[in-house]
Structure 1
Amino acid sequence: MLKPHLVTVIIYFILASCASLPPGNPDNVCSLFTEQDEWYGDAQKAAQKWGIPLPVIMAIMHQESHFVADAQPPRTWVLGFIPWFRPSSAYGYAQAKDETWDDYLDGAGSWWSDRDNFADAADFIGWYCSISHTKLGIGAGDAKNLYLAYHEGHRGFQQKSYLRSASLRRVADKVALRAKHFHKQLSVCKMTSSN
């Protein structure tokens, strides 16, 4: 017979593994908010706090991690079979790099903030885009340019490093289109998703 504390540990690990599963339909923001009912309030709070529209925050997160809590860039391989280092320290829902996450913790986050926590990741994206808005003059609803600044960093955006990558500009167009789709979807389901 299993001891009560062992059962508690097993249940904890089962629940923890379920929490990191990707959502069933990441392309539909209404489905996301139905499946993960606390996410709507978390994303709405970040949007209101930083003045960045909720669909923009969600579209950037979709692009970065497809809403996978522990997303990371794939490892490189040596000789095709030896796992090596990852090309970047990007991690979590927002794919925040170590140094940028540390800046967030110093400026806006709290010591218990985690990159694999949805609320913290949404707040991070809102924070970063708010800086892009004030520092670079990008419109708060301009998902394309906010994403380019998010991907390239503020200095990279100022230096227009994105002009060297047609594929990155196509991705930024996709983020802008997804933000528009999310906005349309929210206009239909907002009342039910806030319950």
Structure 2
Amino acid sequence: MRVLIFVALMALAGCATAPKNTRNACAIFEQRDGLFNNWQRAARHAEKQYGVPVPILMATIQTESNFRPHAKPPRTKLLGFIPWKRVSSAYGYSQALDGTWDEYRASTGRWMAKRSNFSDAIHFVGWYHARNHRKNGIGLNDAYNLYLAYYSGDAGYARGSWRGNAGLQATARRSAALASSYASQLRNCD
């Protein structure tokens, strides 16, 4: 009995850490294909439901959190050295904000969804990208603009708030390049 409990705890502990090689989609899925979780199955399910390719979903999560389940933005400093408030409520794999996450749960009926659960987070990313496809006419294969809209919000993207932000545009280019790399890797997985 103790052995079973130990094995279950070790398997669950593996769910709470980021994969070691987050630049290789095949390695990510290989590391997270187990009894208690199957990231590839979750990613394929989100792709099927929302029409957003797995490489784009994965690149968005890697760009946002580097696959860390409890990622949060850094704290600001009060008086330059006292840890203070965080710049936003972003949390988890998807770095979804509190209000957007609540909207997602209400819209999808996934009331028990958690931002620190990969399956829930990748489903959220698919939902959000599909929403931007509908609201802003962004192609479901357009990794660059989908990331800009993901980061800026659908209204911010529509206003063009990203146009004057060279840093965000560079991040969106890196995310799009990573999506392309993931797509090549996934075609050659064993």
TM-score by length of structure 1 reads: 0.89
Q: Is residue 43 of structure 2 the alignment partner of residue 43 of structure 1?
A: yes
Which residue identity does 1:86 align to in structure 2?
Answer: R
Distance 2:126 2:137 in 1: 15
Deviation per CA, 1:89-129: give whole Å up to 9, x if none.
Answer: 00000000000001100101411100000000000000000
Distance 1:49 1:96 in 2: 19
Q: Is residue 27 of structure 2 the alignment partner of residue 31 of structure 1?
A: yes
The answer for the alignment partner of 2:162 in structure 1 is: 162
Q: Give 1:25-174 correspondences, 5 Å limit.
A: 25-37=21-33, 38-174=38-174
Structure 1 portions without partners, runs of 5+: none
Report the CA distance shift for 1:75/1:109 in structure 2 as closer, same or farther (over 3 A). Answer: farther
- State the 1:17 CA deviation: 4.3
Secondary structure in structure 2 of the residue aligned to 1:84: strand
Which residue identity does 2:85 align to in structure 1?
Answer: F
Distance 1:109 1:185 in 2: 34
Which residue identity does 1:177 align to in structure 2?
Answer: A
Higher helix share: 1
Secondary structure in structure 2 of the residue aligned to 1:161: coil
Report the CA distance shift for 1:160/1:76 in structure 2 as closer, same or farther (over 3 A). Answer: same
Distance 2:104 2:83 in 1: 30
- State the 1:82 CA deviation: 1.8
- How well do the aligned residues superpose, as a CA RMSD in angstroms? 1.9
Which residue identity does 2:31 align to in structure 1?
Answer: E
Q: Which structure has the larger Rg?
A: 1
- State the 1:19 CA deviation: 2.4
Which residue identity does 1:175 align to in structure 2?
Answer: S
Which residue identity does 2:30 align to in structure 1?
Answer: T
Number of aligned residue pairs: 185
TM-score by length of structure 2 reads: 0.91
- State the 1:80 CA deviation: 3.5
Structure 2 portions without partners, runs of 5+: none
Distance 1:63 1:168 in 2: 11
Equivalent position to 2:17, from 21, 24, 28: 21
